[in-house]
A and B are shown apart, each in its own frame.
Chain A
């Protein structure tokens, strides 16, 4: 595991490059094709939304993009690194260095403080405790929660918890921020809050991939991919905003 985080990426090379990506699940004797050949390139600084009804394969796509699962066939190059055939350890390292996750369920550890939660990816990156604390506090400051660093998740509102999760996603300076239904558990005010924050991050040059089934959430993105039956509708075409 390397303590150095993301090297500066070539702005002209795609940060995500999926080629003929296929994923087949075996449930007993039944084969289920979740992804049926997806090609897609996402460039640095892009704000992409992936939309589709449930069962369309967008969750599978999100798992693949997040290096949580591997393709059955095809290839996936993430920030210049082919992750298609990596083993568990290498995938863990790739997730740690390249990807910042924001989940619908927030997924904060209730036993840790806000700053402790934000530090977690740096623990696995092998960053020294002093630097860890410093960077985690800076990330919390970036999402406007510097004053809540010592609070436990239970003492924070849903919107605040999701902002802690965003700080945790940012703290490693990842190649992409992968947000899976980030507003699914939030009221409308917090939704606006969190989406505004993603807009700001995009404004600062972050690459964001947003997975959602809500059209108005997807409308914030520059590019929207529609997934249906494991394929991009219209030959993987993005809908330019």
Chain B
């Protein structure tokens, strides 16, 4: 009973370590899942330079330096081997009409790879096809918000909308994707690039595109893909120095930064709690071991009289302290795992139980027993046998 109370500190400490690591890993997993869904492996190429020595920085995305041939070149496996998909976007804010209602949204012309590159799925119908693209078909895919604004419903596949007098058949509705910054990802209309160029674009520069999205094979090769894309585009544009680049390659990293800082604060807080609990637990072990040494003075004296060397006595008490730590650690791991299994259903957060973390926790608990057992064990070893035997 008394040793159980002693171990409480270690139990709490280890349980919170298990939870901390579990929550940390869980949060990390949640965040990376979330980012993956928005494209953590996504590079965004925009026209215009972010570093312009002349100070004549063009409005971001306003310069017409990116072209459809840039996008075709980036799609090459040879030039950019770390990219798995490329989608250029040519956009225009246009008014969509259905009967009496109309809604102005961003109409995007792009290729069939768009759904894959932008990690989008369809709620209804299908995305347009290669045939639609090559024939510049009058087909359109709506975002869920756009569909709702126009029709009051998302089940609108097969309906027609009118843009600038041209009629488009709705072939699909995108599943919801939330928002990125202040832009809703669900208020959007997508048409084939050729349709955009031939029917809707009135910019006078049919070749230029606003943005090229490049999907890297994984987030690990993101910077490699970025490097390859940069080299290729510099070549295509005949620019020798990176400083003179007329385009910018960005990563969707603001989300990652925000999520990481939240995760780090959480980790610091929980680690602090765990460290404090372990310290208290360690002091508890030291306390109980000192009491134990005092209570067992006669036993120590007898063992010494029978020939136990000081080191033998010291080891005996050290091992006892380590067993206390081990038991506390084991109970802590069991409670921590129990909580880790029970909490997600209550909190709705993900907790990942890592086997390595469990092993490390138990080792740490034994280590705490050893560290805080050193002083009591040394006291036991130093007891003079005659004094110890005389103790009543």
Report chain A residues within 8 Å CB of B389.
Answer: 68, 103, 107
Report chain B residues within 8 Å CB of A63.
Answer: 386
For chain B, the count of residues having a C-beta within 8 Å of the partner chain is 18
> Are A95 and B386 in contact, with the CB atoms below 8 A?
no
> Are B386 and A69 in contact, with the CB atoms below 8 A?
yes
Report chain B residues within 8 Å CB of A124.
Answer: 303, 306-309, 312
Main secondary structure of the interface of B (DSSP, over half): helix
Within 8 A of A (CB), among B299-322: 299, 301-312
From A92, A97, A105, A107, B308 is in contact (CB under 8 Å) with A92
Report chain A residues within 8 Å CB of B9.
Answer: none
B388 to chain A: closest residue by CB: A68
Report chain A residues within 8 Å CB of B308.
Answer: 92, 124
Counting CB contacts under 8 A, is A125 at the interface?
Answer: yes
A209 to B337, CA, bound (A): 62
> Are A125 and B307 in contact, with the CB atoms below 8 A?
yes
Counting CB contacts under 8 A, is B385 at the interface?
Answer: yes
Report chain B residues within 8 Å CB of A97.
Answer: 307
A92 to B384, CA, bound (A): 11
A121 to chain B: closest residue by CB: B306
A68 to B309, CA, bound (A): 12
Counting CB contacts under 8 A, is A66 at the interface?
Answer: yes
A116 to B48, CA, bound (A): 87
Q: Which of A92, A93, A95 has the most CB of B within 10 A?
A: A92
A97 to chain B: closest residue by CB: B307
A106 to B306, CA, bound (A): 13
> Are B309 and A109 in contact, with the CB atoms below 8 A?
no
Counting CB contacts under 8 A, is A96 at the interface?
Answer: yes
Report chain B residues within 8 Å CB of A103.
Answer: 389
Counting CB contacts under 8 A, is A88 at the interface?
Answer: yes
Report chain B residues within 8 Å CB of A120.
Answer: 303, 306
Counting CB contacts under 8 A, is B379 at the interface?
Answer: no
Interface string of A190-228 (1 = CB under 8 A from B): 000000000000000000000000000000000000000
Q: Which of B306, B311, B389 has the most CB of A within 10 A?
A: B306
A69 to B309, CA, bound (A): 14
Report chain B residues within 8 Å CB of A125.
Answer: 307
A97 to B306, CA, bound (A): 9
Query: A103-B389, A109-B299 in contact; A66/B305 too (CB < 8 A)?
Result: yes
Report chain A residues within 8 Å CB of B298.
Answer: 105, 107
From A88, A101, A121, B309 is in contact (CB under 8 Å) with A88
Report chain A residues within 8 Å CB of B386.
Answer: 63, 68-69
> Are B306 and A95 in contact, with the CB atoms below 8 A?
yes
> Are B307 and A89 in contact, with the CB atoms below 8 A?
no
> Are A92 and B302 in contact, with the CB atoms below 8 A?
no
A64 to chain B: closest residue by CB: B386
Report chain A residues within 8 Å CB of B311.
Answer: 89
Report chain B residues within 8 Å CB of A93.
Answer: 307, 309
B310 to chain A: closest residue by CB: A88
B298 to nearest A CB, angstroms? 7
A128 to nearest B CB, angstroms? 16
> Are A101 and B305 in contact, with the CB atoms below 8 A?
yes
A121 to B312, CA, bound (A): 13
> Are A92 and B299 in contact, with the CB atoms below 8 A?
no
Within 8 A of B (CB), among A45-95: 63, 66, 68-69, 88-89, 92-93, 95
Q: Which of B299, B312, B386 has the most CB of A within 10 A?
A: B386
Report chain B residues within 8 Å CB of A68.
Answer: 305, 385-386, 389
Within 8 A of A (CB), among B63-118: none
A124 to B310, CA, bound (A): 11
> Are B305 and A89 in contact, with the CB atoms below 8 A?
no
B382 to chain A: closest residue by CB: A88
A95 to B385, CA, bound (A): 11
B392 to chain A: closest residue by CB: A105
From B302, B310, B312, B384, A109 is in contact (CB under 8 Å) with B302
A126 to chain B: closest residue by CB: B307
Within 8 A of B (CB), among A98-121: 101, 103, 105, 107, 109, 120-121
B306 to chain A: closest residue by CB: A121
Report chain B residues within 8 Å CB of A66.
Answer: 305
B312 to chain A: closest residue by CB: A124
Of all A-B residue pairs in the complex, the 10 with the closest CB atoms, nearest first, are: A96-B307, A124-B307, A92-B309, A121-B306, A107-B302, A89-B309, A68-B386, A68-B385, A124-B308, A63-B386
14 new A-B contacts at CB < 8 Å, known A68-B305, A95-B305: A1-B307, A68-B386, A69-B384, A69-B386, A92-B310, A107-B298, A107-B302, A109-B302, A121-B306, A121-B307, A124-B306, A124-B308, A124-B309, A125-B307
26 A–B pairs (Cβ distance < 8 Å), ordered by A: A68-B305, A69-B384, A88-B310, A89-B309, A89-B310, A89-B311, A92-B307, A92-B308, A92-B309, A93-B307, A93-B309, A95-B304, A95-B305, A95-B306, A97-B307, A101-B306, A105-B298, A107-B301, A107-B302, A107-B305, A109-B299, A109-B302, A120-B303, A120-B306, A121-B307, A124-B309
